[in-house]
Amino acid sequence: MSNVLHVPGVQMHFISIGALTRKGASMNFLKDGFKITLNNRSIAIRYLEGHLYWLNTTQVFLNSHVKSAPSLHTWHQCMGHMSHTALKSHGPKAVTGLDLDASTMAIPKMCHGCKTGKSTCKPFPGSAKITSRILEVVHSDLAGPMQVKSIQGHLYTTTFVDDYSCHVVVYCLRSKDQFVAALQKFLFWAETQTSEKLHTLHSDRGGEYMAASVKDVLNQRGIEHLLTMPGIPQQNRKAEQFNRTIMDKAMSMLHTAGLSNGFWEHAISMATHIYNHTPICLLKWHTPHEAWNAGHVPDVSYFRVFGCKAYMHVPADKWCKLDAKATLVTFVGYEPGSKGYWLWDKNTHSIHLSRDVTFNKSSFPARDKETSPTPMSQTIIPFYPVYTEPNTPAMPQMQALSPSLTEGSEDNIEDILTPKVEQPQTPPIQGPTLPSTPKKEQKLPTSLPPCYEPSFSFSFTIHFGLLPD
C-alpha cells in the first residue's frame, strides 16, 4: 500500500476501500464477512464482528497481490525525460500500457538528468537602462584579422558606438596593440566635438581591452569599464550588431563593384559614413548624424555608387595640347572633412583626391573587365594554299662552265648532262615492312584569286659551249 497516513493516537489500522478499488481490486461484502478479489483471484476473506469488518494483516499481504503502477517521474525517465506536463496530459491517450498511478502524479521540482542534459543559455534581454546624453555609454569591439590586408596595410577594425545617438566611429589597425592609440584618438575627438565626457566604456574581455595600457587610460580619466562575461559576446550586443550591419553593407558594395578584397577598408569606411547618414528605427527614423550633431539634418546629394566608373579632370598644368583632359578612374569613397572623392587609378595603382569628377553610376570598370569578353577582331586574314608536288626529287645543282676548257671538256659536259647519283654506303635495314599511313588527297579550293593561281610548268635550260679545234 502507498500513501498511508500514520496517526499515533489511533490504536487500530483502517484500510480504504476506495484505495483498493483504484488499484484494481473488487470488494464483495457477505453476511458474515467480505472477500477481496484481484484479477479474478480471491486474495482475502475476513469476518464481520461488532458491525465492523476485520482483516488480519499478519496473515494476508496485499502488496504481494496488488501491483502499483509506476509514478509519473518514473515514466518521465522511461520516455527519455519527456515533459512531465505533456506526459501526464497526453501519454495515456496516445499509447497503451502507460499506466499512471493517480496517487503519484506530482511533478518534481528538479530532475538531475534534465538539468545536465538539456541545459541552455538563458535569454539575453535588452538593457532596461536608457541613456540620456551623448557619451554616457559607448560600446566598443575589435574585429579581425581579415583574410587579406587592405591596400593601406591594415588587418583589424575597432568600432566605437555611442549608445544615445547610435553614431559610429571606425578605426583600422595594423595590429591589436594599436588599440590603445585608437582609444585615445577617439576620446580626444569625441570629447572635443561634443563638449561631453565619456562616462562608461562597454566591451568584451578581449586581450586588447584588458591590457594594462588601456586600463591606465580609463583610470586616469575616471571612465568606468563594463565587461561581458567570458565567452558571451551577446552581452555586448550593440557593438556586435553594428559589426554585422556594417560588414554586410561593405561586402555588398565590394562584390557589386567587382573590386578585389584589398579594398575592404575603403568599403567599410564608406559603409560607416552611409550608416551615420541613414535614418534608423531606434531613433524614430532620424539619422545618427542628426542625433550626434544637435539636430543638424544631413545632406546626401553628393552620394555616389561605390566602385562606379568616373572621369577625373586633369589640371591644366599636367597635360599638353594633345593630351586627354580627363582620366578613367574608379570611385572608392569620400574624403573626411572635405568636399572631394577618393578615386582609384588602376594604371598608376594609386588613390587620387579630386572634386572635379563625372560619374557613370551604372558602370563598374572592375566588374565589366571580368565579365565582358574581349571582342574578336573582325579583320579577315586571307588564306591562299600553295601547291607542292609530293615526293619531287631535288634537282641536281648545275655546274657552271669554266671559260678555259681543255681538250677533255666533252667528258665534263657529258657528266654534267648525265649526273651521277652516289649510292649510300650503309646497307639497307633488313626487317619487316613498316606500315604507312595512307595519304589523304588534299582538295584545292574551287576559286582562287587570278593572281594566285598555282603554276605547274617546269623549265630546264642547258647551255652548250663551242669548243675550239
pLDDT digits (tens, 9 = 90+) for 393-433: 545 444 444 444 444 444 554 554 455 555 555 555 554 55
pLDDT at 329: 92
pLDDT at 310: 92
Q: For residue 160, give the H/E element and its range.
A: strand 156-162
Q: Output helix, strand, coil percentages for the chain, rounded to the nearest 5.
A: 30, 15, 55
Q: What would the grid cell of residue 173 be?
A: 589597425
How many alpha carbons lie under 13 Å from residue 453 in its C-beta half-sphere? 7
Q: What would the grid cell of residue 62 be?
A: 496485499
pLDDT at 68: 57
How many alpha carbons lie under 13 Å from residue 87 in its C-beta half-sphere? 22
Q: How confident is the model at residue 443 (pLDDT cuts 50, 70, 90)?
A: low
Q: Which amino acid is at 377?
A: S
For 266-302, the pLDDT digits (tens) are: 999 999 999 999 999 888 999 999 999 988 999 999 9
Q: What would the grid cell of residue 200 be?
A: 562608461
CA distances 311 to 200, 241, 308, 354, Å, are 46, 37, 10, 10
Q: What is the mean pLDDT of residues 366-386?
A: 53
d(CA 247, CA 272): 9
Order the strands of the 26-29 sheet from edge to edge: 26-29, 33-38, 41-49, 52-54
For 297, residues 6+ apart whose C-beta sits below 8 A from its C-beta are: 287, 290
Q: Which amino acid is at 189?
A: W
Residue at grid coordinates 472477500: 35
- 341-345/26-29 β-pairing: unpaired
pLDDT at 367 over 90: no
- Neighbour count for residue 13 (Cβ, 10 Å): 10
Q: Which long-range contacts (CB under 8 A, 24 or more apart) does 113-120 make?
A: 113/77, 113/81, 114/81, 117/81, 118/81
CA 452 to chain centre: 64
CA triple 456-460-465, angle to 5 deg:
170
For 14, residues 6+ apart whose C-beta sits below 8 A from its C-beta are: none
Whether 276 contacts 305, CB under 8 Å: no
E strand residue ranges, 39-93: 41-49, 52-54
Whether 327 contacts 311, CB under 8 Å: yes
More confident residue, 331 or 426: 331
pLDDT at 142: 92
Closest CA to 356 of 316, 311, 307: 311
pLDDT at 435: 53
pLDDT at 53 over 80: no
Query: Please, what's the b/e burial string for 128-155 (b: 16 or more CB within 10 A of its CB; e: otherwise)?
Result: eeebeebbbbbbbbbbeebeeebbeebb
For 264, residues 6+ apart whose C-beta sits below 8 A from its C-beta are: 146, 148, 150, 250, 251, 254
d(CA 438, CA 110): 93
DSSP 8-state secondary structure symbol assigned to residue 340: -
Q: What is the mean pLDDT of residues 63-90?
A: 74
CA triple 77-83-87, angle to 5 deg:
80
For 333-348, the pLDDT digits (tens) are: 999 888 899 999 988 8
